[in-house]
C-alpha cells in the first residue's frame, strides 16, 4: 500500500509529460518483465499449461487490461477528489462481491470497519476543496476501473490458479500491457513520446512506478489475496489514501490540513476493525477469560 500510495505522486508527474495510456502500457510491460525475472531468481518460474493460460487471460482482462485502461482515461477527465472517493469504495464493493459469489460471511463489526474506512476516504479526499464536483464522464471510467479490479480479486480467489500467484502476476502484467499498448496506438498513436523516459529524472520516477509499485506491489498483493482472501486484503486498500497524502506532501509540496488527519484516523480505525484484527484480539481475550 505504501508503494501504491507514493505511486500516485509519481504518476502525477509522468502523465504531465507523456499521454496516460501509452505511459501505462510501458509501465506495465516493464513491471511484467521485472516480475518474471524475480520469479526466475526465486525458483518459481515455469511456463503455464494450456488451461492455465485461459485462467491467466480471464483474470488479466479485469485486473490489468480493463482496470488500468479505464483508470488512465478516467484520470484525464475527472478531478483527484472524485477519483479518490470512487477508488476508496473498492473494499466495500469487494466485500459485497465476496458475499455474493464466494459466500463469505462478514460480521457486523467488520462491516462497520469497512464503512468507517470509506468515510475516512471521503473526508480526506474532500478536505481543502470546494467539495465533490459534479459527476463527469471521467467518474464513470474511474468507477468501472474500480469495479473491474474488485472483480479480478474475486476471480483470483475463486479460480484459485494452480501456480504461484506471484508468477501469475508477471504473466498478467505482460499480457495486459500488450492490450493497453494496442489501445494506446488507437487513441494516442504517438509512440515516440516514450523516448522522454530516457531523461534522468523521468527515468528514475518511471522505474520506481514500474518496478517498486507495479511489479513488487502487485506480486505481494496478489500473493496475499490467494493466501488470506479478497475481503481481508482489500480493506488495506484504504491505506492508499494515507500514503498518497504523505507522498503528495513530501514530493509535490501539497499541504496537509486538519480534515486530512481526521480522515486518516478513520481510515486506520477502519482497517483495524475491517481486517478482523479487533475481532481476533477480542476472541483471544474471551478464550483467556
Are 250 and 15 within 8 A, CB to CB? no
**Centroid of chain to Cα 60:** 14
pLDDT of residue 229: 77
Q: Does an H or E element contain 145, and which? A: helix 137-159
Q: Model-level pTM?
A: 0.80
pLDDT digits (tens, 9 = 90+) for 27-72: 999 999 999 999 999 999 999 988 889 989 999 999 899 998 888 7
252 — pLDDT class (breaks 50, 70, 90): confident
Q: Is the pLDDT of residue 257 over 80?
A: no
Query: What CA–CA distance (Å, rounded) separates 114 from 257?
Result: 23
Q: What is the mean pLDDT of the chain?
A: 84
Are 113 and 270 within 8 A, CB to CB? yes
Query: What CA–CA distance (Å, rounded) separates 170 from 30?
Result: 10
Q: Name the most confidently modeled range: 3-17, 41-55, 148-162.
A: 41-55
287 or 130, which is more confident: 287
pLDDT of residue 157: 78
Nearest CA-CA partner of 243 in 5, 4, 3: 5
Using DSSP, state whether 164 is helix, strand or coil. coil
pLDDT digits (tens, 9 = 90+) for 113-153: 888 878 877 777 666 555 555 557 887 888 899 899 889 98
pLDDT digits (tens, 9 = 90+) for 95-115: 888 888 888 777 888 888 888
- Helix, strand, coil % (nearest 5) of the chain? 80, 0, 20
Q: Is the pLDDT of residue 230 over 60?
A: yes
Q: Is the pLDDT of residue 166 over 80?
A: yes
pLDDT of residue 127: 62
CB-based contacts of 119, cutoff 8 Å, min separation 6: 263, 266, 270
pLDDT of residue 225: 81
pLDDT of residue 178: 93
For residues 257-281, give the mean pLDDT.
Answer: 80
Amino acid at each position: 500500500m505504501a508503494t501504491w500510495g507514493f505511486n500516485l505522486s509519481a504518476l502525477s508527474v509522468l502523465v504531465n509529460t507523456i499521454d496516460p495510456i501509452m505511459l501505462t502500457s510501458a509501465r506495465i510491460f516493464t513491471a511484467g518483465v521485472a516480475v518474471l525475472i524475480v520469479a526466475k531468481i526465486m525458483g518459481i518460474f515455469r511456463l503455464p499449461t494450456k488451461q492455465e493460460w485461459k485462467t491467466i487471460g480471464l483474470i488479466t482482462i479485469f485486473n490489468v487490461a480493463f482496470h488500468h485502461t479505464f483508470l488512465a482515461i478516467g484520470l484525464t477527465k475527472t478531478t483527484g477528489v472524485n477519483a479518490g472517493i470512487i477508488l476508496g469504495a473498492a473494499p466495500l464493493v469487494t466485500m459485497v462481491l465476496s458475499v455474493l459469489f464466494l459466500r463469505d460471511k462478514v460480521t457486523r463489526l467488520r462491516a462497520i470497519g469497512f464503512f468507517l474506512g470509506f468515510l475516512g476516504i471521503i473526508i480526506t479526499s474532500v478536505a481543502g476543496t470546494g467539495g465533490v464536483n459534479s459527476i463527469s464522464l471521467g467518474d464513470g471510467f474511474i468507477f468501472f476501473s474500480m469495479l473491474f479490479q474488485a472483480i479480478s480479486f474475486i476471480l483470483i480467489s475463486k479460480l484459485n490458479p494452480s501456480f504461484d500467484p506471484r508468477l501469475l502476476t508477471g504473466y498478467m502484467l505482460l499480457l495486459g500491457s500488450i492490450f493497453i499498448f494496442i489501445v494506446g496506438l488507437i487513441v494516442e498513436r504517438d509512440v515516440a513520446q516514450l523516448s522522454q523516459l530516457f531523461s534522468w529524472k523521468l527515468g528514475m520516477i518511471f522505474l520506481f512506478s514500474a518496478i517498486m509499485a507495479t511489479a513488487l506491489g502487485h506480486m505481494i498483493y496478489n500473493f496475499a489475496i490467494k493466501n488470506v482472501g479478497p475481503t481481508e486484503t482489500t480493506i488495506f486498500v484504504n491505506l492508499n489514501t494515507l500514503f498518497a497524502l504523505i507522498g503528495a506532501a513530501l514530493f509535490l509540496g501539497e499541504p496537509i490540513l486538519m480534515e486530512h488527519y481526521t480522515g486518516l484516523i478513520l481510515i486506520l480505525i477502519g482497517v483495524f476493525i475491517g481486517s478482523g484484527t479487533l475481532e481476533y484480539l477480542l476472541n483471544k481475550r474471551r478464550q483467556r477469560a
